[in-house]
Amino acid sequence: MTTQRPEVMITRPFYPASMEWLEREYTTYRLFEAPDRDAMLREVGSRIQAIAGGGAVDAALFGALPALRLVAYVGVGYEQVDVASAVQRGIVVTNTPGVLNDAVADLALSLLLAAERRIVTADAFVRAGEWPAGGFPFTRHLGDLTLGIVGLGRIGLEVAHRAEAFGMTIAYHNRNPRSGVAYAYHSDLLGLAQASDILLCVVPGGSETRHLVTEDVLRALGPTGTFVNIARGSVVDEAALVRCLQEGALGAAALDVFDREPAVPQELFALDNVVLTPHIGSATHSTRKAMGDLAVQNVLALLGGRPLLSPVAECAALTPR
């Protein structure tokens, strides 16, 4: 069926109220619910001007959507979008930066606190009725510790502000030093790991940062060190991480992200020096709504002939076709 309204495809569900807003404005197709994805693409693909949602957005999908002008990605990390192919075809990609900084930074501190103060193990200790037999072991005081942040960007800076409020010393590693901050800069990640009690990763994913955190970095953090990952699972050599934790070469880890989500290395389940969460960094109601709304606003801007709100860096100079 053809309609007069612009047609938009939703690749993956996002916050219900935001998705419903998009569905009120345009004729939309939920690709993620299609019993036969290829049939839906064949039937309506030639009329789709924008896609919204998450997941993998690759050159094959672009091939099936010849009129596509915009990928309104719901998420700040867009390594699953083939941006080079998009740019080649004149398709603009937008993401949802900024609106999730606070929620993700809050989770970072939650994980850091849980790992350092051994909250999950302490909870199990109480539930198992072990308290009457003796107190829980002492842990480290946050104010005595140095936090090394790998990726002092939008979220990293919010993590630093929160950690400063706990009295922590902050150091960081980026490819380039960040202006306007007094934190110690390490051009070398290994050097940052050696200088840190806790190493917290919040860089983008993708091929450029794959296994940026090597076994050597984890070993430099050492038997009393804690590794926190809220970036992407790909950023750390996960097999080496498991090995270091099992051997005691690394003290503890708190992980929100994994290399093959939702699969998590089973070996981690047996370790009580590990805290695990299922990629919930931005998963609060208001944050997910703000992310969904920003994606919808980008679609509205494109189809209303207005400037896009948040094109990714690679598309900043691209005029939508």
Cβ at position 307, least distance to ligand NAP in Å = 21
Q: Where are the beta strands (DSSP E) in 168-319?
A: 169-173, 184-185, 198-201, 226-229, 252-255, 274-276
Which residues contact residue 284 at a Cβ distance below 8 angstroms, ignoring those fewer than 6 apart? 103
Which residues contact residue 48 at a Cβ distance below 8 angstroms, ignoring those fewer than 6 apart? 7, 8, 9, 29, 65, 67, 68
Among 31, 74, 230, 295, binds ligand NAP (CB under 6 A): 230
User: Other C-beta atoms within 10 Å of 94: how many?
Assistant: 26
Question: How many chain residues interact with ligand NAP (CB under 6 A)?
Answer: 30
Estimate the crossing angle of helix 101-116 against helix 154-165, to 10 degrees.
Answer: 50
Select 257 or 302, whichever has its Cβ closest to ligand NAP. 257
Q: Which residue is nearest to ligand NAP (CB)?
A: 153
- In the chain, count of helices (H) and strands (E)? 11, 12
Q: Where are the beta strands (DSSP E) in the chain?
A: 7-10, 27-30, 48-53, 70-73, 92-94, 146-150, 169-173, 184-185, 198-201, 226-229, 252-255, 274-276
Calpha distance 200→198 (Å, rounded): 6
Select 202 or 302, whichever has its Cβ closest to ligand NAP. 202
DSSP state of 250: S
Cβ at position 281, least distance to ligand NAP in Å = 2
Select 9 or 112, whichever has its Cβ closest to ligand NAP. 112
- Site residues (CB under 6 A) for ligand NAP, limited to 149-178: 151-156, 173-176
Among 22, 76, 115, 217, binds ligand NAP (CB under 6 A): 76
Q: Which stretch binds ligand NAP (CB under 6 A): 126-134, 135-143, 180-188, 204-212?
A: 204-212
Q: CB burial class (10 A; 0-12, 13-18, 19+) of residue 73?
A: buried
> With binding defined as CB under 6 A, does residue 232 bind ligand NAP?
yes
- Whether residue 103 contacts residue 79, with contact meaning beta carbons closer than 8 Å, is answered with no
- Site residues (CB under 6 A) for ligand NAP, limited to 266-295: 279, 281-282
Say which of 5, 164, 261, 285 is annotated catalytic.
261
Cβ at position 1, least distance to ligand NAP in Å = 38
Select 45 or 75, whichever has its Cβ closest to ligand NAP. 75
Calpha distance 73→76 (Å, rounded): 8
DSSP state of 233: G
Q: Is 261 a catalytic residue?
A: yes
Calpha distance 202→221 (Å, rounded): 17
Bridge pairing between strands 70-73 and 27-30: unpaired
Cβ at position 316, least distance to ligand NAP in Å = 13
Say which of 23, 210, 279, 314 is annotated catalytic.
279
Q: Is 279 a catalytic residue?
A: yes
Cβ at position 151, least distance to ligand NAP in Å = 3
> With binding defined as CB under 6 A, does residue 94 bind ligand NAP?
no
> With binding defined as CB under 6 A, does residue 31 bind ligand NAP?
no
Cβ at position 245, least distance to ligand NAP in Å = 20
Residues taking part in catalysis: 232, 261, 279
Binding site for ligand NAP (CB under 6 A): 76-77, 97, 100, 104, 151-156, 173-176, 202-205, 208-209, 212, 230-232, 256-257, 279, 281-282
